[in-house]
Amino acid sequence: MARDSYPNEFIALLSGKKDLIEELIFLPFMAGESSAIIHLDMLPLGMRVHGTVHSHPSPCCEPSEEDFFLFTRYGKYHLIVCYPFGPKDWKCYNHRGEEVELEVV
């Protein structure tokens, strides 16, 4: 999805059961080269949100000030996928913006 949206960002929500992320929730969003805004008011009632995933069209996976604000609002895990969008071009952060390990199974 990040590669398909390039050079714009993309954003989605992470969902699943307990601490297992099993799916992405795609809601309508607006995106440009430096930001993505998701329409959270369209989230179905009762959906369990574990966090967010969004892309950076640069090789930097570090969160921006806007990212820190988003992290505090929704969930425990926040993934940033960065250019060139390879298997190791991502980082996971907690709601405080601290980098955390996320096991991929």
The tokens for 20 are 């297992």
Quick one: CATH architecture of 2-95? Answer: 3-Layer(aba) Sandwich (3.40)
Average pLDDT over residues 6-25: 92
The tokens for 54 are 């969004």
The residue extents of the domains of the chain are 2-95
**Pairwise CA distance, residues 12 & 52, whole Å:** 6
pLDDT at position 72, please?
Answer: 92
Q: Assign residue 58 a region: left if phi > 0, alpha if psi is -120 to 50, beta otherwise?
A: beta
pLDDT at position 25, please?
Answer: 94
Answer whether 9's CB lies under 8 Å from 56's CB: yes
> How confident is the model over 56-98, as pLDDT tens digits?
999 999 999 999 999 998 899 999 999 999 999 999 999 999 9
> How confident is the model over 23-61, as pLDDT tens digits?
999 999 988 888 888 888 899 888 889 999 999 999 999
pLDDT at position 45, please?
Answer: 87
Q: Assign residue 33 a region: left if phi > 0, alpha if psi is -120 to 50, beta otherwise?
A: alpha
Residue 105, pLDDT > 90, answer no
